[in-house]
Structure 1
C-alpha cells in the first residue's frame, strides 16, 4: 500500500469515527431524545477540526502501525484527549455549557475505535499473514532485552526465513511466561529435549553480554543438536558501533577463541591522541589498519597513513574518510627501508606519536628470505625510530611478537633485534620508545584461520603441523587496543604484554572451524604435515629474565629486557648483505639470544 493510499484510508476512517461518535455518545446517555441538534452538529464539526489538528501534532498518520506499541497507544491517547478538551472549551464559549457526560463517552469511543482501527491490522498480520509454515522454527536462547529484540525483528519481517517458536532462559522467574506471544519453555539444560519436542530448525543465541567462556559452553551444547546456530552481536561490537543489535550472524571462531575485551583508559589514550598528529606505519596491514580505526575514534588533529602498498593504503583511507569526513587524513606512500624518505616524512609532518606496525611476519617465508627480514624488520625499525627521534616525536610504539621470545626463527630473531633497537633508542632520545608483544592475531593476513577456511571450502584436508602445537590468540581489535593503551602507559623502554589466558591447540582450532562450517571430521579430515623450519611447539610471551609479576593495568604486564651494545646491531646491518643465508640466520639468532659475546652493557640514560 502506497503512502498516499494509506494516508487517505486512515484519514477517512478517523473522520467517520469523529463525525459520528459524538452522536452515538449522546444517544447512549439519552436514547429517547432528539439526536440531530444544532449544538451536536456544530460540536461534531468542531471535533473533526480539532482531531485532525492534534492528529497532525502527534503524528498519528506517520506511524508504522504494524509495529504499534505503547508509544503509539500513548499518541492516540494524547491526540484524542486534547481534541475532547478543545471541544469542551468550544462548547463553553459557544453554548455557555459543557456536555460533560457526552464528551466523556465520546472520548472513550474515540480511543476504542481509533485504537482498534490501528491495532486490528497488526493483530491480523501477526495471527494470519505471519503464520508461514515454510519458515524455519527458531529457538531463541536468552529471554532478556536481546532476545526480545531478535523476536520482534523476526516477527515483523516479511523477508526473514525464520519464525520464533520458543525461548530458553536460565532465569527461573521467566519460565512459563510469554514474550511477544513466544513462550519461555525451559533452561539451557533442557536444550536437547526442547529441540526435539519443538521440532526446532534454527537456533539464535541472543545474549550480547555473554563472556567468551559462557558462549563456548552454550555453543558446545548447541553443536550437539547438529542444527545451525547463529548469534547476535556482542556488547563489544555494539558499543564500538561496528554493528547494530539487529544483525544476526553465524558464530565465528573469533567468538569462541577471543578473550573478553580489556577496557581502555579512555582519558589517558585521549590525552595522547586527541587533537594530535599521529603516524601509523604499515597502515594498510591487518593490524595497522585496525590501529588507524581505533585512533580515529579519538579525533586526532591529523592521521598519517604510511605504507608501501598503494592499494591497501587507498582502501583504509577511503574507509576512514567515509566514517570521519571532517578528519585530516594524509596517505603517505613510503618504504620504511628508505632512510632518507623516513627523515623527510617525519620532518614534513612532525607527528606527536608514531605507531610502528610495518613488518614482515611470515615465519617460513622469512626462513627462506632472511635478508628481507633484516631489511624490513631491523633496518626499517631503526630508520623509523631514528627519524622519529630526530623530529622530536613524543612517543613511539613498536608492534612486536611473542616469537621474539627465545626465538627459533629468523622472523622472531629479527623482531627481537628490533626490540633492542627500540630500547637502545629510548636511552639516547627524549622520545618515549616502547614495544608491544602479541600472540597470534585471529584473522590477520597470513594467519592460520584464513588458510583453514580455504582448505575447508575446497573439501579439505585441513593441514596441521603437529597435534601438540599450541598458540596464544587474540582478536585484531583487541591487539590494536593494546597498542593504544601501551602508548598511553609508556614511560619509556618498556615491553608490554597482554595476559592472553591459556594457549589453544592448533588442532582444536581446526576442529572448531570444521564444526562451525557445518561439517564433521569425517567430511573434512585433518592431516598432520610436521613442523616447518623456524617453528616451535609453543610460544612464550616473556622470557625468564624479563618478567615483572605485577600487572600495571588490568590484564597488561610489563617486561624488562637486558640491554645490548648497539654496535653489535650496527655491524649486523653493515655486513648482513655479504652473508650467506645460513650464516645470517645463525648470526641473528646469536644476537637475539644474547649469546655471551654480545652481552655488552649500555651505559648512559636520558
Structure 2
C-alpha cells in the first residue's frame, strides 16, 4: 500500500472514530436543549468509552475500511447502517443491564444512532460531491449541449456518465411518460415528450440528441429519428445500451444512430454448449470464407475452439483480408488459408483428402440477382449448383460429419436464376442425405443481411455521400433483413441441432420496405428528401416485389430455438440426381433460355419473369 493509500485509510478510521463522541455528546445536547447536561458526566464518559471500543471493532467487521469515498453510494451507506446498528444494540444491552447504576435518557439512545448515521454517511457523500466537483464540476467551454431522450434508468446512468465527460453537457431530457414531465434528473428538467423535441431543441439552442432507450421498440426509435431530423438535430446513441443498463457505459465511443438500430432486431441467444460440442477440437471447412457470411461464420467459429479453420476462397484479396483478421485478433486459432474454386473437383478432392474436415459450411455462391439473370445464368447454375455438388460429394466420400448449405429466401418460389440455382443446391443436398452415409446434410435459408456485399445499405450510403439521388427499384418492394452476426450465430445453432435432411428457416422478423430504409438513411445522414431525392428505377431482371421464406407446398415445424423452424419441402423428382449431375458436366455453351427451361423442368414453382430489356435468348456463356 502506497503512502497516499495509507493516509486515506487512517483518515477514514479517524473520521469514523471521531463521529462517535460527536454523535454521543450531540445526543445529550439535543436532549437538554443544547445546555450542558450537568449530573450526567458519569453516563457520558462511561458510555463513550464503551462505544469507542465497540465501534473500533464493528467498523472493521462491517468493511467500512474497504469503501472508496470518491465512489460512495448505497453499498457504503449499507455498511454504515450495519455498523451503527450493532453498536446501538450493544448500547441498549448496556443501558438495560446498568440501569440501576447509570441513568441514560431513552431519547439519547434513540438520537445517537440517527446522528451517527448522518455523520458517517453524510461525510462520505459530501466527500464524493466535493471530489466530483473538483474533477468534473468545471464545465468545459467546448462541451456540446445535448438533450437526452429517455428519463428512465438508462437515462439516469447516461446523464451521470456524461457529467464526467468534457465533450457533452446535458441541458434537458424528454420522455413520453407524462408522469415524469416537470421532474428533474440529476438537476436536469424533463421538459416534455418526444413530440415536443423540436421546440425544446430550439429553446435551448441544441443541435445534438442522444438516445437512452434500451427497451424501446423500433417504431419508437424511428419516430424519434424523424422528429430529430425535422428539427435539424444530429442523433446519437451509446453502443450496446444493454451495457448501459449494467453500468458499463463507453462514452468515448458515442456514435451516430445507424439504420440497423431502427430495424428492431433483438440480440440472439444460442446454445453455446451444443455448438461447442459440435465444433471443439475438429477441422472445420468454410467455403466462400472471404464473403460477408463466410467471414462472419469464421469469426464465430473461433469462439468454440476448433482444431483448425480451413478458409476456402476464390478471391485472393478476400482470402487475404480474413486471414489478416485472424492474425490480428485471434492468433491462437490455427487457420489454413486456401485459394480455390468449389467447382474444381480435383482441388476439392485434394483439400478433403489432406485435411478431412469434420464440419463443412458451404457459403460460396453467386448471389447478385440481376447480374446472374442475364448473360450469366449458366455461370450462376454452375457455381451455385455444381459447386455444391462437388463439395457435398467430397464431404460424403471422406466422411465429414456435417455439411451445412447456406441457402436463401430467393430459393422459395423462385422468379430468378439465382434463386432457382440455390433451390437446385438444396435438392442436391436432400438427395445426398437420403442415400445414406455418415454425413448429415442440412440447409439453412435466410434473407438479406445488413451490410453484406451487394446489399442496398452500402449502395444507399454511397449514393448519399455523392449527393444523391438514392435509387429504389419500386415504391412497394420489401425485403427481410437481419444482421450478419445474427445470421451466422443462427446458422451454427441450426447446424448443431440438425439430425440431417432439414431445411432450416431463420426468423427474419417483419419485412422492411426498401423506400422506408432509404428515407431512414437519408434522415440519419442529416439530410432531407428535398436535398437527397429518392428515384424509382423499376424492377430489375429477376427481381421480386417481396421475398418468401417458405414455398406454397411446404409446411414448417418448430424447433427448440424460437428463431429457427424446419421447412418440409416437396419431394425431389425421381431421376433428378442423375440428370443434374450429367447436365452440370455440360462442356458446351448454354444459353440463358436453355438454362431457364431446364430449371423449370426440375423446379415447377420456378416462374421466370420476362423483361423487354433483356438481351437475345441466344446469349451464351
CA contact (8 A) 2:477 2:513 kept: yes
Aligned partner of residue 585 in structure 2, secondary structure: helix
Runs of 5+ consecutive residues of structure 1 not aligned to the other structure: 90-96, 600-606
Q: 1:73 aligned to 70, 77, 101, which one?
A: 77
1:443-480 deviation per Cα after TM superposition (whole angstroms, max 9, x unaligned)? 11231211221232233333334445433322213322
Q: 1:311 aligned to 305, 320, 344, which one?
A: 320
Partner of 1:331: 336
1:375-406 deviation per Cα after TM superposition (whole angstroms, max 9, x unaligned)? 54333322221121123233322112233345
CA contact (8 A) 2:414 2:605 kept: no
1:498-532 deviation per Cα after TM superposition (whole angstroms, max 9, x unaligned)? 35355433333222111111111232233455555
How far, CA to CA, are the matches of 2:229 and 2:483 in structure 1? 23
Aligned partner of residue 548 in structure 2, secondary structure: coil
Residues 432-451 of structure 1: matches in 2 within 5 Å? 432-451=440-459
Partner of 1:506: 514
Count matched residues. 578
Change (3 A) 1:419 1:26: closer
Aligned partner of residue 521 in structure 1, secondary structure: coil
Q: Is 1:454 matched up with 2:462?
A: yes
Q: 2:225 aligned to 219, 224, 234, which one?
A: 219
Change (3 A) 1:570 1:584: farther
1:521-571 deviation per Cα after TM superposition (whole angstroms, max 9, x unaligned)? 232233455555x44142433575543266566453515145251233223
Q: 1:288 aligned to 294, 297, 300, which one?
A: 294
What is the CA-CA distance between 1:216 and the residue it aligns to?
3.0
Q: 2:530 aligned to 516, 522, 546, which one?
A: 522
CA contact (8 A) 1:50 1:87 kept: no
Partner of 1:210: 216
Q: Is 1:473 matched up with 2:486?
A: no
Q: Is 1:141 matched up with 2:140?
A: no
CA contact (8 A) 1:313 1:331 kept: no
Q: 1:538 aligned to 545, 550, 556, which one?
A: 545
1:126-178 deviation per Cα after TM superposition (whole angstroms, max 9, x unaligned)? 679537385444433333332222222223x13341315224143x5555544
Partner of 1:567: 578
Change (3 A) 1:478 1:591: farther
1:337-359 deviation per Cα after TM superposition (whole angstroms, max 9, x unaligned)? 44344344444554443221122
Aligned partner of residue 594 in structure 1, secondary structure: helix
Q: Which moved more, 1:477-486 or 1:552-561?
A: 552-561
CA contact (8 A) 2:307 2:334 kept: yes
What is the CA-CA distance between 1:289 and the residue it aligns to?
2.9
Partner of 1:228: 234
How far, CA to CA, are the matches of 1:523 and 1:40 in structure 2? 80
Please tell me the root mean square deviation across aligned C-alpha atoms, in Å.
4.8
Change (3 A) 1:115 1:12: same
How far, CA to CA, are the matches of 1:592 and 1:39 in structure 2? 101
CA contact (8 A) 2:161 2:249 kept: no
Partner of 1:92: none
CA contact (8 A) 1:548 1:558 kept: yes
Aligned partner of residue 280 in structure 1, secondary structure: strand
CA contact (8 A) 1:424 1:566 kept: yes
How far, CA to CA, are the matches of 1:575 and 1:255 in structure 2? 47
Runs of 5+ consecutive residues of structure 2 not aligned to the other structure: 29-35, 94-100, 607-621
Aligned partner of residue 479 in structure 1, secondary structure: helix
Change (3 A) 1:505 1:43: closer
Change (3 A) 1:436 1:518: same
How far, CA to CA, are the matches of 2:109 and 2:480 in structure 1? 73
How far, CA to CA, are the matches of 1:84 and 1:501 in structure 2? 60
Q: 2:307 aligned to 302, 305, 308, which one?
A: 302
Partner of 1:15: 14
CA contact (8 A) 2:551 2:569 kept: no
What is the CA-CA distance between 1:596 and the residue it aligns to?
9.0
Change (3 A) 1:462 1:355: same
CA contact (8 A) 2:170 2:188 kept: no
How far, CA to CA, are the matches of 2:605 and 2:110 in structure 1? 96
How far, CA to CA, are the matches of 2:603 and 2:359 in structure 1? 35
How far, CA to CA, are the matches of 1:27 and 1:145 in structure 2? 39
Partner of 1:603: none
Residues 243-322 of structure 1: matches in 2 within 5 Å? 248-257=254-263, 259-260=265-266, 264=270, 272-273=278-279, 278-297=284-303, 299-302=304-307, 304-308=309-313, 309-318=318-327, 321=330
Aligned partner of residue 330 in structure 2, secondary structure: helix
Change (3 A) 1:383 1:117: same
Partner of 2:567: 558
Residues 50-199 of structure 1: matches in 2 within 5 Å? 58-60=64-66, 63=68, 65=70, 67-77=71-81, 111-124=117-130, 130=137, 132=139, 135-155=143-163, 157-163=164-170, 165-170=172-177, 174=180, 176-188=182-194, 190-192=196-198, 194-196=200-202
Change (3 A) 1:397 1:84: same
Q: TM-score, normalised by structure 1?
A: 0.77
Partner of 2:500: 492
How far, CA to CA, are the matches of 1:203 and 1:574 in structure 2? 60
Partner of 2:598: 591
How far, CA to CA, are the matches of 2:287 and 2:505 in structure 1? 21
Aligned partner of residue 586 in structure 2, secondary structure: helix
How far, CA to CA, are the matches of 1:568 and 1:278 in structure 2? 31
CA contact (8 A) 2:406 2:444 kept: yes
CA contact (8 A) 1:397 1:435 kept: yes
Aligned partner of residue 140 in structure 1, secondary structure: strand
CA contact (8 A) 1:143 1:168 kept: yes
Aligned partner of residue 226 in structure 1, secondary structure: coil
How far, CA to CA, are the matches of 2:353 and 2:495 in structure 1? 21
CA contact (8 A) 1:201 1:227 kept: yes
